[in-house]
Amino acid sequence: MLNLTLGALGVVFGDIGTSPLYALRECFHHGSGLPVTPGNVLGLLSLVFWALIIVISLKYVLYVMRADNRGEGGVLALMALAHPKPKLEGRDPKKFLIFLGLFGAALLYGDGVITPAISVLSAVEGLEISTPLFKPYVVPIAVLILCLLFLPQKYGTDKIGKAFGPIILIWFITIGALGIGGIRHNPSVLQAVNPLHAVRFFLANGWHGFLALGAVFLVATGGEALYADIGHFGRKPINIAWFFLVLPSLALNYFGQGALLLESPEAYHHPFYFLAPNWATMPLVFLSTMAAIIASQALISGAYSITHQAIQLGYLPRQKIRHTSHHEIGQIYVPLINWAMLLGTVALVLIFQRSGRLAAAYGLAVTATMVITTILIYYVARDLWKWRPWIALLVSAVLLTVDLSFFFANLVKLLDGGFIPLVIGLVIFTSMVTWRRGRYILGQRLKLKSLPVDRFIEQLETEKPYRVGGTGLFMTSVPDSTPPSLVHNVRHNHVMHEHTILLTVVTESIPYVAEEEQIEIKLIHPGIYSARIRYGFMEMPDVPACLERSVGKLFPYDAKAVTYFLGRESLVSTRRPGMARWREHLFSFMTRNSQKATDFFKLPADQVFEIGIVVEL
């Protein structure tokens, strides 16, 4: 538990843990026109404190994180709980939950690109406080650090967490100590715990006070990452780390910065760094930079988890996924996502140059995802946990009021860069629904080319193809029909194997399926078997291993004598009803660039036989 808690510190809490670098500064920099007065400082501190309590502690740690899908978290896992049998095709009264979940997951990619950029930039900018000579080198140093962050990802969050955990532990102890130092000089700042200061702040500042919520929200931007990373470390280590270290350290530091501003309003340009004595500036910049690197890890790990879930649930094409731990199955590495996020993050640093400018683009995507999470958790509480509807509605209404307040306050950032994560999210969302729709249409087209199993068996009785030794396994995505690859093989080669298996692999809306429940196999004709293998959305399929455990009970089975027949579809865009032409081209492109079925299902390459099929979309 201690190791997992330390690892969680290094992976999960980096994002929210580095918010003190820029959050309170942006409250006065945000274009809200707020003067640094005692009333405004206490009001904003009260909002910051209660944002941590309501959004993170109550909503995520104590409420949302209870909705783990057999140990896995994130908006897609939550969607699977809220709507266990999602259908994008046909009538489905809960279809909107699918779109909400997919869009929420897509937005996290946008957040994952911005978080490393703003965290690293804000930390490196501390060099300017020690000497202005560093100013021309801030952007190049930030780009170099980002490259050094993404390169070791292939070694996995297990090793990264162990390396980062002690550093982030020192970070939280340090910022807590700095906060205590500031509070000691002006203990009156602790009055901000009283929420009446937040009320007075809104009454005094009106519209400008509401706009400041966009900056206040920066203190809570790591909440969704906490939930997405449950699968890496588990709920209990995250809870322990939050309540016993992270929350106290964050609260102390924010109050310490507030105490400094009460005494020296001119320090609002960088209250975090000015909180430290002069001799500690350079060491603090170094520690902040390390913490900023770690801050990015939460979103990177979350992006890996969401990608894996989306692939298994059928919303993204197959990609290469590497497991990096023998102990935690949720610890994975996705090369394509890693390099795409690196390119996006570096591009943002080069475009925006300053963390203050990036702050304008930060927050909108996260608040939208949080709104979506609140809507989905309502259905989980009502339908899965069997709460009384009025209780579930009341809790969700309170949380939704807070989420929507932050969302609309961030909406004014749209033209200042807030559109960037939304555009990234929209591109990912379009790809997800196009892939799902394309796979459905492809399945329908293949079904037209397939024969019902009973008709195929009737033809066998008439044609009586020659039987050869061994086992032929034909994979199909259309259950209860004969795979086109089998039809073509019999039609052109006039042979069948002594044992023929028609196999369908299905991904369930649960993370894991028990080994004894994974495969169902039955005899449908002498020598012909129908098989169905079930996996959870967090599992990596291993078809040969699953077959070897089960098929030997039905007939003599030699894994090395199995020939795997796969259909290789050549897609042709047409004007047939289904999808727009541009979506058909997008689907074809995604199909061509997806991971080969041989690798994804762990089939031995020298035993695979592919049969080409032309399919008109």
Residue 323 CB neighbours (<10 A): 14
What does the pLDDT read at residue 89? 62
Which conformational region is residue 363 in: left (phi greater than 0), alpha (psi within -120 to 50 degrees), or beta? left
Non-local CB neighbours of 42 within 8 Å, separated by 6+ positions: 189, 191, 192, 197, 201, 258
Non-local CB neighbours of 287 within 8 Å, separated by 6+ positions: 167, 170, 171, 174
What does the pLDDT read at residue 431? 92
> Between helices 75-82 and 281-312, what is the axis angle to 10°?
40
Domains and their CATH numbers in the chain: 2-417 (1.20.1740), 451-616 (3.40.50)
Q: How far apart are CA 74 and CA 87, in angstroms?
A: 20
Residue 245 CB neighbours (<10 A): 19
What does the pLDDT read at residue 90? 60
Strand, coil or helix: 499: strand
CA contacts within 13 A on the Cβ side of 399 = 27
Residue 463 exposed, middle or buried by CB count within 10 Å (0-12, 13-18, 19+): exposed
Mean pLDDT of residues grouped by 10 in the chain (617 residues)?
A: 76 82 78 78 93 93 84 80 69 79 86 81 76 79 86 66 78 93 91 92 87 86 77 80 92 94 85 85 83 74 79 84 59 83 89 76 82 92 90 94 91 80 89 89 78 81 81 82 80 84 83 82 86 83 86 79 83 78 88 84 86 75
Residue indicated by tokens 């320090």: 267
What does the pLDDT read at residue 196? 94
Token pair for residue 369? 């995802």
Residue 412 CB neighbours (<10 A): 17
Q: How far apart are CA 177 and CA 190, in angstroms?
A: 16
Residue indicated by tokens 């490393």: 116
Query: For the CA atoms of 133, 139, 144, 146, what is the dihedral angle to 10 degrees?
Result: 130
Q: How far apart are CA 394 and CA 391, in angstroms?
A: 5
Q: How far apart are CA 23 and CA 31, in angstroms?
A: 14
Check if the beta carbon of residue 300 is closer than 8 Å to that of residue 111: no
Non-local CB neighbours of 183 within 8 Å, separated by 6+ positions: 189, 190, 252, 255, 256, 259
